[in-house]
Structure formats: C-alpha cells, structure tokens
Amino acid sequence: GSLGRRRCPYLHTVRACCQMVEVLLAVLILVCSSVSGGSPGGYTGLPALGGIYYYQYGGAYSGFSGADGEQAQQLDQRFYLLKLPIARAAMAVGGCLLVFPCVLILVGILRVPWHFPAWLLIECTLYIVIAVGTVPALYYFFHSLLSVYNSSVCKEREQLYQSKGYQGFGCSLHGAEIAAGLLGCLAAMAYLLSAGLAVRDYRTVHEEKQRPLQL
C-alpha cells in the first residue's frame, strides 16, 4: 500500500528507504572522489625559515632544499594534474547518482506513480541501466588510476620521497579510492534492489486500482 490511497507517508516505505541509502552512498562517493583528487599540494619554499616545507600530511617538516625542493614541487603538481581528470569524472558521476534518487524521492512524495503507473517501469529500466553502467565505470576508474600510478611521474616522485625517508607517497591505490570502488559496487546492488521494488509496486498499483471496479 505504499503507492495506494492509504495515508501512509512515502518516506516510510521500503522503496524510499532504499533510495535514501542510495543518496548516502552517492554522498560518500563524492567525498572519496574529492579525497582522491586531493589538492595541488607540493613543497613550498619558505626562505624566512631557511628551507622547503611540506604541509599536506600534518605539521611542517623539512628535508628538501634547492634543486630537490623544486623537483619535488614540480613532480607533485604533475602528479596532481594527471589525477585531476579522473577525480573530476568520479565526482561528476557521484553528483549524478546523488541527484537521481533525490528526484525519485520527490516523485514518490508527489504520488506520481499512483497517477501514472508506467512511471514505475521507466524507473525500473533506469535503475537497471545505471546498475549495469556502473561496471564499466568502475573499470575505467581503476584502470585510469593504475595508469597514473604506473607512470614515470609517479615512479620518480616515489623514489624522490623515499630517498629522503618519507613514507606514504607510494604508487598504489589509497584507501579513499578503494572505498569509492566498494561504494560503487554497493550502489549498483542498491539500484538492482530498487528496480525490483519498482516492479513490485507497479503490480501493487494495478491491484489497488482494479479493486474498486471489482466491488
């Protein structure tokens, strides 16, 4: 009776709860994508303090000077520019995934599926298309990231930091990127569940609409 004439708020239905979970997953994907992109960072020369300092990973610490500091800064900027298109694409996808369930929640609150049951079939089709499209999107995301981490820029940057004893600059996927992939998989499963719920509600609408005619 989630879509019928009963006075039951749509937000209390299973389908609405699943859509709110999709909103949460999309927000988390956006956050992880922004972390993956990071900031230009890099070493910044501070002549007044007598050295080159790096601020991105906690308090300032020295270790680079002269040509090494300039090289570190250039490598950081080049590495950032390599990852920037991937991060922007992931954030764009996350934004679309955030808008989609929000629109469907609004449609449910306005009882559009009750007045236009075919909308539920359209919604089911869209969910299936997005769930299937998530697979190549995740492949592209990780394939592009691994290409960046296997690049000469990343390798040279890693060796430069390791030569100064700094850790955490390795050429491998970090936690936020792995989390974004896992969240994408969870989102795909949530979309398939929502597709099934849309078909169920489509049948429910027809049954409830035919009930008064039978009486």
DSSP string, 24-68: HHHHHHHHHHHHHH------EEEGGGTEEEE-TTSS-EEEE-HHH
Number of domains observed in the structure of the chain: 1
178 part of a folded domain: yes
Q: Is the confidence at residue 42, as pLDDT, over 50?
A: no
Per-residue pLDDT band for 61 (boundaries 50, 70, 90) equals: very low
Q: Would you state the pLDDT for residue 5?
A: 45
pTM, 2 dp: 0.80
| Residue 157 belongs to some domain of the structure | yes
CA distance 128 to 119: 14
* Residues ≥6 apart with Cβ < 8 Å to 58: none
* Residues 130 and 55 sit within 8 Å (Cβ to Cβ): no
With respect to residue 154, please indicate whether it lies within any of the assigned structural domains.
yes
Q: Which two tokens stand for residue 62?
A: 């020295």
Residue 45 maps to a domain = no
Q: Note whether residue 104 is domain-resident.
A: yes
> Is 60 within a domain?
no
- pLDDT tens for residues 62-115? 466 667 777 878 888 888 899 999 999 999 999 999 999 999 999 988 888 888
Instruction: Decide: 30 and 91 in contact? Cβ < 8 Å.
Output: yes
159-198 tens-digit pLDDT:
888 887 777 778 888 888 999 999 999 999 999 999 999 9
Residue 191 inside a domain? The answer is yes
User: What range does the domain containing 86 cover?
Assistant: 25-38+75-110+121-207
Q: Which residue has the higher pLDDT, 33 or 38?
A: 33
Residue 15 lies in a domain: no
Q: Mean pLDDT, to the nearest integer, of 140-148?
A: 93
